[in-house]
Structure 1
Amino acid sequence: IAAPQADMPTTTQLAAVSGAMAIGLGAFGAHGLKTKVDPAMIKIWETASHYHLVHSVALLAVSVGHGHLSKRSLRLAPPLFTAGMALGAITPIGGLSLIAGWLSLAL
């Protein structure tokens, strides 16, 4: 694997790693877990993998278009996204944190 480009923003690098992880984890769920866990759990895994991939693409879009975002948005959104991921199992706090993170980008 080549070293990252020196001029590539860290958020772009994180988006790329996150996207690769989303694909890898999705494949693991589809191929590695299918015969080992209940089908209902596979459905949960699929949903989580989908959200992960969608947010990876969104992170890439925010990284590429960061010049159009306010500094306040860029300070507020990351903690909200992190809280959303960390608290995802605590319904509805995780989802609400993710929603707040997205809305903070509109500020």
Structure 2
Amino acid sequence: MTDRSARPQLFLAGLFGAMAVACAAYAAHGLGPVKGERAVELWRTGSQVQMVHAALLVGLVALQARMEAGRGLLAAAGWLVALGSLLFPGAVYLLGWFGPSALGAVAPIGGLSLILGWLCVAAAALRAR
């Protein structure tokens, strides 16, 4: 790994992947009787989004090590995806557990962060040789 941001991004990818699996498992095996079917749906959605983006983070780390041109954009994409992978699914999990609250306002910030991360990936592709 040549980029200083790659190691913490890989660490976060592992944490987010583990969290996604744990939340999906709880949604499948225990959340319904405690919080209801709507909470189960929300947690499934949150875990799917979180897992996809944990996998993206792993891919971004690998690409940062291989690409010269566009490496900065990939590092920026990694940090945006990491932020979005915390805020968006986190807000969805909280909505499922506690119901609507002011914390739900962070979901759009997380979603925007994920979108910007993907756009950085697209921009890095345009810069690649």
Q: Please, which runs of 5 or more residues in structure 2 have no aligned partner?
A: 1-5, 92-103, 124-129
Q: Assess if the C-alpha contact under 8 Å between 2:87 and 2:109 holds in 1.
A: no
Q: Assess if the C-alpha contact under 8 Å between 2:31 and 2:39 holds in 1.
A: no
Matched, 1:28 2:26: yes
Indicate the larger mover: 78-87 or 11-20: 78-87
Question: Which of 62, 68, 79 in structure 1 is aligned with 2:60?
Answer: 62
AA partner of residue 31 (structure 1): H
Q: Please, which runs of 5 or more residues in structure 1 have no aligned partner?
A: 1-8
TM-score by length of 2: 0.62
Aligned CA RMSD, in angstroms, stands at 2.4
Matched, 1:94 2:107: no
Cα distance in structure 2, aligned partners of 1:49 and 1:20: 10
TM-score by length of 1: 0.72
Hey, which bits of structure 1, 4+ residues long, moved more than 6 A? none
Counterpart in 2 of 1:4?
none
Identical-pair percentage: 33
Counterpart in 2 of 1:5?
none
Higher helix fraction (1 or 2): 2
How many pairs were matched up? 99
CA deviation map 1:3-39 (0-9, x unaligned): xxxxxx6233432332222111211122121211121
Cα distance in structure 2, aligned partners of 1:50 and 1:82: 15
